[in-house]
């Protein structure tokens, strides 16, 4: 992690990294976890697609969390 940043949620970096590689695998991209985040052989469009899918999944997770924490009938 870059200096000057503190991790608010322990393990979040690894969880996001796992999600990134899971989605890349689903899309058939030639990257593997542990490759030191070298994505030089991946087209920019494909890397952006991974980010877009990550965002969609994170928003869905957040919506489910919020939905579960609301009082009944709301």
Question: With the C-alpha atoms ordered 12, 56, 25, 42, is the resulting torsion angle positive or negative?
Answer: negative
Per-residue pLDDT at 51 exceeds 60: yes
The more confidently predicted of residues 39 and 47 is 47
Domain membership of residue 2 (yes or no) is: no
Domain membership of residue 1 (yes or no) is: no
Per-residue pLDDT at 73 exceeds 60: no
pTM over 0.95: no
- Per-residue CA distances from 25 to 3, 5, 19, 68 (Å): 30, 29, 10, 30
Domain membership of residue 3 (yes or no) is: no
> Residue 47: which domain range?
13-68
How many helices (H) does the chain have, and how many strands (E)? 2, 0
Question: What is the number of other CB atoms lying within 10 angstroms of the CB of residue 50?
Answer: 21
The total number of structural domains that make up the chain: 1
pLDDT tens-digit readout, 17-31: 999 999 999 999 988
Domain membership of residue 4 (yes or no) is: no
């Amino acid at each position: 992690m870059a200096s000057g940043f503190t991790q608010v949620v322990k393990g979040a970096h690894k969880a996001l990294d796992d999600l990134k590689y899971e989605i890349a695998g689903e899309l058939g991209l030639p990257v593997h976890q542990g490759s030191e985040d070298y994505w030089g052989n991946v087209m920019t469009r494909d890397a952006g697609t991974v980010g877009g899918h990550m965002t969609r999944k994170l928003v869905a997770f957040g919506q489910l969390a919020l939905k579960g924490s609301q009082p009944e009938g709301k």
